[in-house]
Amino acid sequence: MPITPQNLVRHELIGLKAKVVKSTDSSQQGMQGTVIDETYNTLKIETKGTEKTVAKKNAIFVFTLPSNVKVEVDGQLLVNRPEDRIKKKFAKW
């Protein structure tokens, strides 16, 4: 199943380009790169050869899909184990 804006939060995020557009940690705002790992509460983003960890619940992300569509997602929707997000029901999505 291809990744679309409608199913992004239920899909694998590793490998997608991501940008932090808003965060409670001002040093993370504007950070962009490729998602290389995901845990319950964090995304690990590779930027310019370094790995940075971003808390999901404190940030708003813009993901670039393989079709070059950009989708803004509140990190609060992503807080969960990746394999459990498939089963979760989302009001907006």
- Nearest to 14, CA basis, from 39, 36, 32, 31: 36
Residue 3 falls within a domain, yes or no? no
Q: Is residue 75 a contact partner of residue 33, using CB atoms and an 8 Å limit? A: no
pLDDT digits (tens, 9 = 90+) for 19-78: 999 999 999 999 999 999 999 999 999 998 899 999 999 999 999 999 999 999 999 999
Show the domain range for 16: 8-82
Helices (H), 1-93: 82-85
Model confidence band, residue 81 (pLDDT cutoffs 50, 70, 90): confident
Residue 41 falls within a domain, yes or no? yes
| Number of domains the chain is built from | 1
Residue 13: which residues within 8 A CB-CB, separation 6 or more? 35, 38, 43, 63, 78, 82
Residue 90 falls within a domain, yes or no? no
- Domain of 25, CATH number, reads 2.30.30.210
Tokens encoding 83: 């394999």
